[in-house]
């Protein structure tokens, strides 16, 4: 038993025991028979306990699973959620609306000063120049020809 949802024009048709069921949008469109598929609808029924029990028994164990869920409202009454594929006339379907505005451009990235904090100074310490030994200055004189 997999999740299958009834394909119908109205909620009353979706609750009938012999309503065709579809697991996917493609299957629902194949069962539409010239009608347009509006989408997967969720309807909420506030029923008495006896009516909710009768609704679940009418489906039976071999019926589609998952399109009916039983809940309870704050006052303890039964609430049944019905998921079903809703069919409408093709003339009633509006084309998707185009965006009336352009999305706002992303804000300019702020300059990152992290490097200034961590790499302000070099990693190695500056070397102090050792004073030259005056006794060895003549060894590397530029005036000597060797």
Q: What pLDDT was estimated at residue 141?
A: 62
At residue 137, does pLDDT exceed 70? no
* pLDDT tens digits for range 112-132: 777 777 777 766 777 788 887
Instruction: Give the predicted TM-score (pTM) of the model.
Output: 0.59
Mean pLDDT value across residues 70-85: 90
pLDDT > 90: percent of the chain: 19
* pLDDT tens digits for range 21-63: 899 999 999 998 889 998 899 999 998 999 888 888 877 666 5
Mean pLDDT of the chain: 81
Q: What pLDDT was estimated at residue 56?
A: 82
User: Quick one: three-class SS letters along the chain?
Assistant: CCECEEEECCHHHHCCCCCCEECCHHHHHHCCCCCEEEEEEEEEEEECHHHHHHHHHHHCCCCCECCEEEEECCCCCEEEEEEEEEEECHHHCCCCCCCCCCCCCCCCCCCCCHHHHHCCCCCCCCCCCCCCCHHHHHHHCCCCCC
pLDDT > 70: percent of the chain: 83
């Amino acid at each position: 038993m997999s999740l299958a949802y009834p394909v119908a024009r109205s909620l009353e048709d979706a609750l009938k025991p012999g309503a065709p069921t579809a697991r996917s949008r493609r299957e629902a469109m194949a069962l539409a028979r010239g009608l347009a598929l509006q989408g997967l609808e969720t309807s909420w029924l506030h029923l008495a306990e006896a009516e909710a029990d009768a609704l679940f028994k009418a489906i039976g164990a071999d019926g589609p699973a998952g399109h009916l869920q039983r809940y309870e409202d704050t006052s303890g009454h039964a609430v049944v959620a019905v998921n079903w594929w809703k069919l409408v006339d093709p003339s009633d379907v509006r084309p998707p609306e185009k965006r009336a505005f352009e999305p706002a451009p992303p804000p300019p990235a702020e300059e990152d000063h992290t490097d200034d904090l961590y790499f302000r100074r070099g990693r190695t310490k500056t070397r102090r120049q050792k004073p030259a030994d005056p006794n060895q200055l003549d060894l590397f004189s530029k005036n000597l020809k060797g």
